[in-house]
Amino acid sequence: MTKRDSKQMCTRARTTAALSLLAFGGLLFASVSASADSWGAISIDFKTAQTDPYFGVGGGSSEDEAITNAQKFCVEAGGAECKTVVSYQQCGAYAASGKGGGWGKSSTQKTAEAQAMAGCNDDACKIVTSDCN
> What's the pTM?
0.71
CA–CA distance, 72 with 123 (Å, rounded to integer)? 31
CA–CA distance, 10 with 88 (Å, rounded to integer)? 51
* Cα dihedral 36→41→43→49 (10° resolution): 120
Q: What is the pLDDT along the chain (133 residues), one digit of tens a residue?
A: 554 444 444 434 444 444 343 334 443 333 333 446 799 999 999 886 566 899 999 999 999 999 999 999 999 999 999 999 999 999 999 999 988 899 999 999 999 999 999 999 899 999 999 999 9
Q: What is the pLDDT of residue 1?
A: 53
Q: Measured between alpha carbons, how far is residue 69 from residues 43, 48, 54, 121 in Å? A: 9, 21, 14, 28
